[in-house]
């Protein structure tokens, strides 16, 4: 076989091998891109589903937080119509008990988000703005809300002990008194006991700050969901 033919043969074989390897790498890279794209969709879709759940939860919490604030405000108000205003927003004395001697926590559904973080699949989301909003939502504002929940819990415990030590009848007589009588009795204590009223004012302030950060939390949620929905539409 002429030398030129041998060289041509080896060149063709080498070219075929190179092209085959290159094609294999290209196919593998393309397959990986498709897989990453699919993983990104799953992550964004799971985040979107959970954000919808958190939306419902947050709105319900805001209604309850705001109602508790109004109850304390009307209880401490010296306005002659405050009792009537209070009775317009409650159905039972239990709602007053929640505002005065209890507290409301904040625990939105986070199973999907926690799984994404623990599995490391958030890496498939390239958007820095989405990651930043996620951090603001689940780290910054979530922690601010629950820091105030913790403060409120401390005050709530002090209020419960104070009432039990100084006004045990407020607990013992609740089942025997009408709603009007219970409210009048509690307001009398508040108006004549500066220490108790101070406790309630501190509790109200903590509740107000809690609601303030919940509103920031919710605004962030709306922005985040909007960005995720736009990414999902482009898929």
Q: How many domains does the chain have?
A: 1
Query: Rg for the chain (alpha carbons), in Å?
Result: 31
Torsions phi, psi for 80 (to 5 deg): -65, -20
User: Where does 77-177 have alpha helices with state H?
Assistant: 82-89, 93-101, 111-119, 128-135, 142-166, 169-172
Q: What is the pLDDT of residues 128-159, one digit of tens each?
A: 999 999 999 999 999 999 999 999 999 999 99
Residue showing tokens 């009223």: 197
> What would the pLDDT profile of 89-127 be if each residue is shown by its tens digit?
999 999 999 999 999 999 999 999 999 999 999 999 999
Q: Is the pLDDT of residue 27 over 50?
A: no
Host domain of residue 144: 3-233
Tokens of 60: 């319900």
Query: How many CA atoms lie less than 13 Å away from 112 in the CB half-sphere?
Result: 16
CA distances from 123 to 40, 118, 127, 134, 231 (A): 8, 11, 10, 13, 15
Q: What is the pTM of this model?
A: 0.84
């Amino acid at each position: 076989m002429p030398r030129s033919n041998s060289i041509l043969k080896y060149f063709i074989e080498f070219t075929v091998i190179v092209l085959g390897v290159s094609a294999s790498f290209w196919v593998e890279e393309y397959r990986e891109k498709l897989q990453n794209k699919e993983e990104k969709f799953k992550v964004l879709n799971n985040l979107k589903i959970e954000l919808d759940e958190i939306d419902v939860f947050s709105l319900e919490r805001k209604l309850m937080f705001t109602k508790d604030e109004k109850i304390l405000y009307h209880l401490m108000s010296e306005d002659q119509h405050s009792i009537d205003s209070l009775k317009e927003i409650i159905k039972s004395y239990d709602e007053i008990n929640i505002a005065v001697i209890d507290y409301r926590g904040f625990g939105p559904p986070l199973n999907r988000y926690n799984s994404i973080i623990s599995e490391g699949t958030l890496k498939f989301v390239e958007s820095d703005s989405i990651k930043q909003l996620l951090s603001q939502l689940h780290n910054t504002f979530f922690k601010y809300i629950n820091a105030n929940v913790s403060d409120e819990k401390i005050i709530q415990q002090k209020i419960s002990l104070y009432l039990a030590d100084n006004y045990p009848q407020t607990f013992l007589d609740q089942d025997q008194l009408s709603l009007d009588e219970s409210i009048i009795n509690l307001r009398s204590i508040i108006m004549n006991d500066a220490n108790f009223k101070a406790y309630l004012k501190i509790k109200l302030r903590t509740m107000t700050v809690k609601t303030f950060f919940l509103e920031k939390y919710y605004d962030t949620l709306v922005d985040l969901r909007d960005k995720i929905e736009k990414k999902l539409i482009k898929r």
